[in-house]
Amino acid sequence: MDSSATPGSQLGPLNPGNVVSAAIKLYRDRFKTFFMLALMATLWIVGGVVALIFAIGILAGIFITIGGDIMAIFGGIIGFLIGMVALVYSSAKYYMLSSVIGRLSFRDLIHDPETSLDSRRQVAPKLGQFLLLGILLGLAYFGAYIVVGLAALIAGGSVGFLTAGIFSAFLNNTAGNVIGIILGGILGIFLFVIVLIWIVSKLFISDVVLAIEPNREAAESMGRSWNLTNAAVWRIQVVFLATFLIQIPVLAVTNYIPNILLFAIPEGTLTYAIVYGLSFLLSMVGSIFLLPLWQAVKGVLYYDLRSRREGIDLELRNRPGGSPA
């Protein structure tokens, strides 16, 4: 890694390679802290899922003894509602704890490091805001998926119809229709993927903004992420790609290879159940190892974007104690 991207020096704006390099170094230097935060976050979300399953199963079992299958359905619905409360709470804890990694990464970069406990104490009062942020992001992505999908379908269909008409005049109807469908489909898929990636990139650091900036609420954090990433979307995509390529060896061991093995084993056998269970555990382990990398990338990106747009280095040098706004 270039020395200019080493945590502990005045970094200033970074290129995409140095963003990833700095994130990797931060992860390596604080591996135990980041790993424990990722482990706690994962245990919270797993606990929420287990609570949901148990609530449904237990209440359905109790109600079936009272009134048969109809009451079992009623009990299952009640169990689902109770379990969802636990799952929602655990999801907020997961989101909050994972964002602490990004906060710690940023604090290291500005020479004002925090302990994991200190960061969690700073972020803990915002638990409700993290829950709201997760809901708002989910709605934003779902809405974008629908709207962009329809727009891409219309654009691709229009281009396909026009192309089919043009090529049909020079060739024949069959060839023209095939070419129109292919070109229209390619255009539609391309627009759909590009626009969705653009939207995800614009909102990518929302949780880190919420964790780092005081008095910032969920909706404001989304707006802040949107503004900070202006003119930086394509650079963020390079960071995405580099981070994804780095994680491939871990994914190969924890996800890809176990899933491939499952295709070679007959379903319904004891061997299949054992391999499936091991595959699930390996997948969880892989997620725990990779979560800190992505959150550290978010922390470095936040620093980089503020350096470019707001001159954060100059601001920090002029601020007593070196704390960011």
Q: What is the tens place of the pLDDT at every residue in 229-281?
A: 888 888 888 898 899 999 998 888 888 888 888 888 887 788 888 888 888 88
Virtual torsion, Cα 133, 137, 139, 142, nearest 10 deg: -160
Count structural domains, the chain.
1
Contact 295, 22 (CB under 8 A): no
pLDDT over threshold 50, residue 148? yes
3-state helix vs strand vs coil in the chain, percent to 5: 85, 0, 15
Range of the domain at 148: 3-322
What's the pLDDT at 220?
Answer: 94
* Phi, then psi, of 230 in degrees rounded to 5: -55, 135
The three-state secondary structure class of 179 is: helix
207 pLDDT tier (thresholds 50, 70, 90): very high
pTM attached to this predicted model: 0.82
Mean pLDDT computed over every residue of the chain: 84
11 pLDDT tier (thresholds 50, 70, 90): low
